Structure 1
Amino acid sequence: MSVTRRSLLAAGAVAFSGALGALWAPGPARASARGYGPLLPDPAGLLDLPAGFSYRVLSRAGDPLRSGEGTVPANCDGMAAFGAGGGRLRLVRNHENRATAALRVPAVDGLTYDPGALGGCTVLELDPAGGVRAERVGLAGTAVNCAGGRTPWNTWLSCEETEDRAGDSGYSRDHGYVFEVDPADPHRLGAVPLTALGRFAHEAVAVDPYRGVVYETEDAFVKPFGLFCRFLPARPLGGPGSLRAGGLLEAMRVPGVADLSAVDEPGAEFPVEWVPVPDPAAAVTPVRFQDFGPRGITHAQKLEGCYWGGTGVYFVSSYARGREGAAADHHGQVWFHDPVRGRLRLEVLFGPAADTALPGDSPDNICLAPDGGLMVCEDGGGDQYVFGVTPGGEVYPVARNADDIGTAGAPEWGEFAGVTFSPDARTMYVNAYAPGTTFAVTGPWR
């Protein structure tokens, strides 16, 4: 990230390509908000925020877990907030630990899928004042738990972003699955892979709260790139554990579009077809390599964030690079799929067609802001931001990671991940992936 781009962000809001019209329900016209003002340096050197905002560090990798089960694991990634009654709240937080992770998710009886795998998720319980009253393991023995998504019945779906099999990386079982975690009682569901949702490098999921369909992104950065899939459960909206009953896994085909990076016009809309995945278990061939017939299937590089908003599902392609085999270059796309109309629309395009000097380098985890706007976690080079997008197509800074984890003369800042809001929309929770910190941010949210 250049100095020019840093100064643009620090100064306030700037425009970019795409107006994000689908993110807001129809209603009276309103003036475009321009964010919350410039970011102010944090004297503690952790998190720069606009005036009027403050943060609290809830958890830090390497500190003791309050449950006594071990230490807080590293690589804090996807996250969601769940109301717990009486003003309490639970945060479920993924840990994207590979086989080399220094701080593993502690193995706990009844919650561990594969003792040789170091990832999983932890659960923080907050009291009505926002203080941490409990912190424990929610899932262990899984691998590279990147993002995921919440269900309409208030459980968390944790995604393994790997295709490693038993025998790889010291693992004793196959990986590449989605696991369901109950924030209130993790032992209720245990560590059971939802095999019918497919075995591939899962990134994130979003559940249609009206029909129960589960949408899934596959994060692949080398060709053939990942797929956007949907899972039709045998027991839609059946509650905790219902996804174990199986169902049908399908991949999205956009007729005439083999690679989503070829689309560079925000507002462009296409019909969508869904094709059954020949072998969801990927027993011999990885899902994205499988034969989807003479018409093929639609791929996209680095499919990441995925969430349900309003009447459809939004998902992110973090970037596309022609030198790596993509049809065209971009620095991030946000797509919207309307399941009722069976249409797909490009909502946002981040450079180079927009302007590579503008914010928005490799968007990753995303969520809706309290005012219906968009919050995006950045996972690119240089400075790392959480930024928002207004209905008028303006990008504005919300937070900047000020915790330099680099070396003298070579500064480095960890990506943001897991942005989510409390049910009352008064607090934003977000993770700094490295060194592994969970923040609660309060202020005059609109």
Structure 2
Amino acid sequence: MTMSSNEATRRQVLARTGALGAGIAFTGALSELFAGTAAAQSLGHTGYGPLVPDPDGLLDLPRGFRYRVLSREGDRLRSGEGPVPSNHDGMSAFPARNGGVHLVRNHENRADGRVPVPTVEGLTYDPEGKGGCTALTLDSRNRVLSERVAIAGTAVNCAGGPTPWHTWLTCEETEDKAGTNGYTKDHGFIFEVDPADPHRTGAVPLTAMGRFQHEAIAVDPRRGVVYETEDAFERPFGLFYRFLPRKPLGGRGSLRAGGRLQAMRVPGVPDLSSIQETGAAFDGVEWVDVPDPLAAGTPIRFQDFGRGGITHAQKLEGCYWGGECVYFVSSFAHSDEGSAADHYGQIWRYDPERRRLTLVIVFGPDTDVQLPGESPDNICLAPSGGLMVCEDGGGAQHVFGVTRRGEVYAMARGAQNIGTPQEPEWGEFAGVTFSPDGDTMYVNCYTPGTTFAVTGPWRR
């Protein structure tokens, strides 16, 4: 959820000139993103109409849709453990009893987090860590039944991903070690969170999955391989990883048994930003063992991967599994920050059966510099047959829908002005996800931390 100063400035200018949200800006075959999924059976749609300003100043939606505020930062957790933490980020929804839903929500708090995650006995990794997760249980009408701490004492919990056994893997987007920023333990790990009973998973780092600036994960539901993205902020940029568990698909707690961490090498491609042509495909992708997954002395992306090096990419963020492939997002790349070339977003597909990597989507600048064609971040498949995409940046903030035919439409717009009337600002969206029955979209506003449940004619 971090962007460069150049990106922030450019997007703020676009916001003030009215260019934000003006049109589509990508090339590529959107239908590839849905191959083999339920969404591929839908014809998609061109949106739900214009956004209607919310008289309560929270969330603008198309006519026929409505929202419920589930939780806001600073309110009291229903568990009585303390206030709702700030910086709402990645999130996922899981089935609960009687048609209800469990939500697990990240809080990307750093050492100076506004409202830290309260420490709870048995759920706290490092008492000086301000991040973590909270868990909400909802009934079938999206009424909040409970809200509690799910893990505490972690740091910069950005994104993550669900497992096939209905737990959440929350990712720390930091490399800070003990003694840095007051921390008493090393950070940069993945933790497993059970949404139904967080005490069953506790606060145990999955150290074999690596210590680096984690962003998101996706699990291959057939092989049990876990794919991981790294959002490193400085050169050399992040890597794309896979984790081979000793107990693949073993259920809750099985990842603690360890495994092998490997990084992707695309022969002849040291930097993914150098590839600009959609449809470009690379066979023979290699996976190289990480020399020191714990990065005891050297961050992983700096380590020696031997002859041939390793493949880097700037702003590796969203990651999800679709059909027989894993998809991952590079939100942007800037040559003046060290990337080989410029782009405003790429979506890559890796086919493990063929060991083939394909560039599916490119967002600007060769197509257009206007939104929503830049800086995609959190992405999820929508039950109506398409994608929901959260923007990551400054200016007006939207959740955009993307149909299989490539049409882009605004699904939601943040209306909470955290700036001034003269210089308005809006908190970005994060954690978009759908209920198991597909009838509700859940999404977070990062600042001020707000979790919404959006219902309406999704299947129209």
TM-score (norm 2): 0.94
Counterpart of 2:327 in structure 1: which amino acid? Answer: Y
Distance of 1:215 and 1:412 partners within structure 2: 34
Shift of 1:29: 8.9
Q: 1:177 to 1:31 in 2, by over 3 A?
A: closer
Shift of 1:34: 1.2
Shift of 1:116: 0.4
Q: Is the 8 A contact 1:361 1:380 kept in 2?
A: no
Alignment of 1:310-349 (within 5 A): 310-349=323-362
Q: Show the counterpart of 1:294.
A: 307
C-alpha distance after superposition, 1:302-359 (max 9, x if no partner): 1011111111111111110010010111111111111111111111111102211241
Q: Is the 8 A contact 1:432 1:438 kept in 2?
A: yes
C-alpha distance after superposition, 1:391-440 (max 9, x if no partner): 22221111111111012411111111000000000100000000000000
Q: Is the 8 A contact 1:5 1:359 kept in 2?
A: no
Q: 1:395 aligns with which of 399, 408, 412?
A: 408
Q: 2:424 aligns with which of 364, 389, 411?
A: 411
Q: 2:135 aligns with which of 118, 123, 145?
A: 123
Q: Is the 8 A contact 2:162 2:169 kept in 1?
A: yes
Q: 2:119 aligns with which of 89, 107, 121?
A: 107
Shift of 1:15: 6.1
Q: Show the counterpart of 1:190.
A: 202
Shift of 1:224: 0.1
C-alpha distance after superposition, 1:209-232 (max 9, x if no partner): 111000000001211000000000
Are 2:13 and 1:6 aligned? no
Counterpart of 1:232 in structure 2: which amino acid? Answer: L
Are 2:54 and 1:42 aligned? yes
Distance of 1:257 and 1:344 partners within structure 2: 11
**SS of alignment partner, residue 96 of structure 2:** strand
Distance of 1:289 and 1:424 partners within structure 2: 44
Q: Is the 8 A contact 1:254 1:273 kept in 2?
A: yes
Q: 1:58 aligns with which of 66, 70, 74?
A: 70
Structure 2: where are the runs of 5+ without partners? 1-10
**SS of alignment partner, residue 399 of structure 1:** strand
**SS of alignment partner, residue 228 of structure 2:** strand
Shift of 1:266: 1.5
Are 2:265 and 1:265 aligned? no
Q: 1:7 to 1:230 in 2, by over 3 A?
A: closer
Shift of 1:270: 1.0
Q: Show the counterpart of 2:7.
A: none
Distance of 2:52 and 2:277 partners within structure 1: 35
Are 2:376 and 1:363 aligned? yes
Shift of 1:6: 3.2
Distance of 1:333 and 1:23 partners within structure 2: 12
**SS of alignment partner, residue 183 of structure 2:** coil
Q: Is the 8 A contact 1:78 1:148 kept in 2?
A: yes
Q: Is the 8 A contact 2:43 2:385 kept in 1?
A: no
Distance of 1:56 and 1:276 partners within structure 2: 46
**SS of alignment partner, residue 8 of structure 1:** coil
Q: Show the counterpart of 1:22.
A: 32
Shift of 1:32: 5.6
> How many percent identity over aligned positions?
70
Structure 1: where are the runs of 5+ without partners? none
Q: Is the 8 A contact 2:329 2:348 kept in 1?
A: yes
Q: 1:239 aligns with which of 227, 237, 251?
A: 251
- Name the count of aligned residue pairs: 442
Which 10-residue stretch deviates more, 340-349 or 96-105? Answer: 340-349
Q: 1:140 to 1:366 in 2, by over 3 A?
A: same
